[in-house]
Structures are given as C-alpha cells and as structure tokens.
Amino acid sequence: MLLAASIALVTGRDLAHHITVAVCADADDCGTFPDSPPVCQYYGRDRVVARESFAFAQQWPADGSRLIQFGDDSAEVIVATGKDTTEVYRFNRWEDAQRWVIDNSTDLGNTADAAAGPWRVPVREGYLRMLLLTGLDHESERAAAASAFLVEEPSGPGTHGVLRQSAEGDIREVTVVMALDEATDELREYASNLGFWGFISYSVDLGPELSPQRLTFSGPATDAWSLAQLRAPSSPRNRPEAEEHPQYMSHENAVLRSFVLDLRQEANAALYREVFAMESILETAVPLLTSENWISAGERSERYTHLEERIRDNAVAVETTHALQDEPITDETVQSAVEGLVVQAGPMTAPETRLIDARTADLTIAGSSFEPLLSCEVLEDDAEEAPGHGGGSS
C-alpha cells in the first residue's frame, strides 16, 4: 500500500477520483457532467459576457445540492442549508466541483461503496485513505464563497427573488422573477417586446459599496420573435412579422434569452438610477425595480420604453437552448428549467439540463444578428485578421 501510495504521490488524487467516478458511474448516480462543448475562440464583447454568465449544465448530484457548470469552465455547487437559504461553493474548474461533491457527499459515497462488489475496502473509503497516505487533502473544510437567501414579493405581488451575499457579508447579486400573469399591462408589453413568455427576471450584479456592475433581463424565449422586432418602432403595428419558427428554436427543449447591460457605462448607469431604487430587504439595502408599484401606468410605460431603447442600442443578447433530462416538455417544466438557470443560487428544484446550443449578438453593432457560440463555422482566418471581431455579428 505504501509503495502504491508513493507511486501515486503526484497523480494519486486524480487517479483515485477517476476510479471513484468510474465505479459510481456504473450505478448511473455519480453527479458527473459531460465535457464542455467547444466554444469558438474568436473574440467579441458578446462572447466574453456569454462565457461568464451562461450555464452548460445544471444537475442535482446529491440530495440538497445542485452543481452548475458555466461557459468559462468554472462551476458552483449550491448546497441547501435551510428552507430559504443556501451556501455557494465556487470552483475554477467544474472537475474540481465534481470532485468536491464526491468527497463530501454521503449519498455519492454510499453509491460508490455499494458498487464496489467483492472488494474489501469500499471505493470511497479507499479513495479517502489514498488521499490521507499521499498527504493530499480532499478539501472537506472548504469555505463557502457566498450564501443566498430567498425573498418573497420583493417587487410586488407575483414576484420572488434571491439575494447572494459574499463571505464577507456584502450583497453581490439581486435576482427577481416576475410572473407575467400577475404583472401590469406595461410590464407584459415590455416582456413581449423582448421575446419572453411566462415570466421576466432581472439580475443586478454589485461591486464594492453596492456599486452597480451589470443588469440582466432574462426569461423563457418565445419563438415568434426576432431582433428585427426589437429594433422596430415601438408601435406593434409597425413591428415586422417574426419567423413563425426560427430554425434555431425548438419545441422539445427549454430556451433561455437574456439581455445584458454594462452598468459601468454612464448612459446605462443613469438609466439604472432612474428605474431602480435602493430598498430594505432582510435589513439590508438592495436595488429593486420600482416601476411596477409606485408610479402611474403612463410613467411605467415611459420607463419600460427607455429600458427597451437602451437594450436595443447597447446590450449583449444571449440565447441558450437546453435539453431537459428525463422530464416531459410542458410549460411548467420549461419555466422551471429556465428559472433554475436564472436564479442559480436559489434554494429551488429545477429539472436537470444540458446545453445543446448557444448564440450571441452585440447590439452595439448595427445590423448584428445572433451567431453561434459553440459552432466554429465562421472562418478562423477571418477571426485572426480581425481581433476586434464582434462575435461573428458583423
């Protein structure tokens, strides 16, 4: 055993991890993710934003935990600590997140042990023993990077959300989901113009001293919609007809559409200050969209029009298509899957998903259109000649 441990000193943890994954994979209960789909290597503002924000997959590897793999190959493990609270563990590589779950999950450990067959030492016990002998810690004491709290009706009836708090106690992200069947007519029109159905959500990323960094509007994507509609005059009569079923849409999967504004730009920040206000939730100040509750219908319409215009001229648009794992395709399951991708740190149950397609557009580029993020059909020579290429949107 000591000789084996010495030989495995450099690669022991990787080897033990692979053995554990291989064994528990036979039981189809391992919490493993597929390899990330290839992301095109040409650059653009839309590509950077997309890779930082969208999820390749979400999975429930063990009771009370959710593992989310992001486009930049990082991952988070969300662990429920109460009915309305979670802890968030952040990893630079999704393989490290998977490994941490296996190290710390009793459920997965029992699965691996049950699959060990006639071996005298169960796989998980042997794995941890090897780590001990080689002096490689299995990170059982890893500290949570953040915590999250569920809040009810933060922006009025029919809304719920999540506050993400750093380990130092600072609010870093506010996400609110607004059900359209309980929304005002003005919000429903705004959501329709952005191509959402079911619900619309907003997320505000915050920096030091609650300084706004990013604003994202997201929701389940309608298929009877196109960027041409967003760019058309606001009157519905002047809007062009969208393709009834765009080729990239699917009735067999969940499609998430998002629009991201950089709040470090002064024009975006000025509009943010006009539409959002600091409110007290859980005894802390957080930014909330106030136009639903405190102002007249005319003022609501004006503010949503300003938001739509700013999105049209300055946002990054991202669409991702996700296959639902072992779930029937209904309105309820699609909404639940998309909400899980939006409210990533929330203590909620969402269907497991796998990314099968993604596309982006930088709306600051005149005439830009959605271009694939995972398919590299755009000539690499063109990308090399134009390092400032806007994600294939020219």
pLDDT over 70 percentage in the chain: 68
Task: For the chain, give every domain's residue range.
Answer: 1-30+105-142, 34-94+145-385
Sorted by sequence, the CB contacts under 8 Å of residue 240 that are 6+ apart come out as: 226, 228, 229, 232
Mean pLDDT of 176-204: 94
What pLDDT score does 355 carry?
86
What does the pLDDT look like over 127-179, one tens digit per residue?
555 555 555 555 556 788 899 999 999 888 889 999 999 989 899 999 999 99
Mean pLDDT of 289-318: 88
For the ranges 155-159, 195-199, 212-216, 220-224, which has the lowest average pLDDT?
Answer: 155-159
More confident residue, 78 or 96: 78
Which two structure tokens, joined as six digits, stand for 90?
Answer: 């952040």
Residue 88's nearest CA partner among 56, 66, 109 is 66
Mean pLDDT of 172-187: 94
What pLDDT score does 304 carry?
93
Residue 382 predicted with pLDDT over 50: no
Q: Are 372 and 341 in contact (CB under 8 A)?
A: no
What pLDDT score does 353 carry?
87
What does the pLDDT look like over 223-239, one tens digit per residue?
888 898 888 765 555 56
Residue 391's nearest CA partner among 310, 318, 341 is 318
What pLDDT score does 126 carry?
59
More confident residue, 222 or 101: 222
121 φ/ψ sector (left φ>0, alpha ψ -120 to 50, else beta): beta
CA–CA dist 68, 57 (Å, integer):
6
What does the pLDDT look like over 52-66, one tens digit per residue?
667 777 887 777 788
Q: Are 203 and 215 in contact (CB under 8 A)?
A: yes
pLDDT, averaged across the chain: 77
What does the pLDDT look like over 333-348, one tens digit per residue?
999 999 999 998 886 6
Mean pLDDT of 12-36: 53
Mean pLDDT of 183-194: 93
What does the pLDDT look like over 84-121, one tens digit per residue?
899 998 988 877 887 777 777 665 454 445 444 444 45
CA distances from 103 to 45, 77, 80, 236, 355 (A): 37, 13, 17, 55, 26
Which two structure tokens, joined as six digits, stand for 171?
Answer: 């609010």
Mean pLDDT of 239-249: 60
Sorted by sequence, the CB contacts under 8 Å of residue 50 that are 6+ apart come out as: 71, 316, 318, 358, 360, 373
CA–CA dist 127, 148 (Å, integer):
32
**Residue 21 three-state SS:** helix
Mean pLDDT of 185-194: 94
Bridge partners (DSSP) of residue 217 are 202, 259
